[in-house]
Amino acid sequence: MKNLALIITLVFCVSAANVATAQLTKKEAKEWKKKLKKTSPEQFKRMYDENSSLKSEVSSVQGQLSSLQSSMGEKDAKIAELTDQNRRMEAQVNAAKKAIAKAKQDTENQPAGSAVSQDGVVFKVQIGAFRNKDLSKYFENNENFGGETDADGVQKITLGIFKDYWESDTFKKYLREMGVNDAWIVPYKDGTRVAMKDVLEGVVQ
């Protein structure tokens, strides 16, 4: 009787712990009592141990699932970040394409021999300053690409020749959108590089 009472108690404990088990009807409870009478303590213990082992496996799988969900969340956040970066890069590429198309159109619309005169004040966009790098061989026959070497041996490279300051400023902004972050405007007067303050008045308004 004691063994039977213990078995019944254990059955009810396992049933209460198992969320998948529904409330037994009177008929079902009667049938299970009959089955329990035919089950030895050894058989019940084996079933109980198997049940505990399965619960442990379920708990382990749930832990793995939770870890995977957390990892998926981190990956989703990274994907969102990369997607945002791609959008910004696409915007920069599109802006660069527009700048190239506009420059090409402006060049095609210029009459032959209508090169920008460098007399008076003009503006160029410096894209870099390099030491031990000589790009002068590329200056020939490339009016819009030039440079000069200072007393310290630093070669300063420029792009474009503009009579209008704001046009040069727009070109500078396009270059920065393309990734040339150090692009900045430098003024020249009659072919000689001068300080911006020397030509600022009357030019930039």
Whether 40 maps to a domain, the answer reads yes
User: For residues 162-176, b (16+ Cβ closer than 10 Å) or e, as one string?
Assistant: beebeebbebbebbb
* For residue 198, pLDDT beyond 60: yes
Tens-digit pLDDT profile for residues 72-125 = 888 888 898 888 877 876 776 676 567 666 666 665 665 544 456 677 889 999
Q: How many domains does one find in the chain? A: 2
Sign for the CA dihedral angle at 31, 34, 39, 41 comes to: positive
Is position 112 within any domain?
no
| C-alpha R_g of the chain | 41
Q: Does residue 192 surpass a pLDDT of 80?
A: yes
132-184 pLDDT tens trace: 777 777 777 777 788 787 888 888 888 888 988 899 899 999 888 888 888 88
Domain end residue (candidates: 58, 78, 104): 58
Residue 106 belongs to a domain: no
Q: How confident is the model at residue 202 (pLDDT cuts 50, 70, 90)?
A: low
pLDDT at 87: 82
Residue 204 has pLDDT above 60, yes or no: no
Task: Kindly state whether residue 135 falls inside one of the protein's structural domains.
Answer: yes
Q: How far apart are the first and last CA of the chain?
A: 106
Give the distance from CA 63 to its chain's centroid.
30
Tell me if 130 is assigned to some domain.
Answer: yes
Q: Does residue 101 lie in a domain region? A: no
Task: Give yes or no for residue 128 having a pLDDT over 80.
Answer: yes
The larger pLDDT score, comparing residue 119 to residue 205, is at: 119
The pLDDT, as a whole number, for residue 133 is: 74
Domain end position, chosen among 58, 79, 104: 58
Q: In this predicted structure, what is the pLDDT of residue 93?
A: 64
Domain coverage including residue 147:
121-199
CB 126 within 8 A of CB 156: yes
The domain that holds 177 is classified in CATH as 3.30.70.1070
For range 58-76, the mean pLDDT = 86
In a domain, 24, yes or no: yes
Is residue 177 within 8 A of residue 92, CB to CB? The reply is: yes
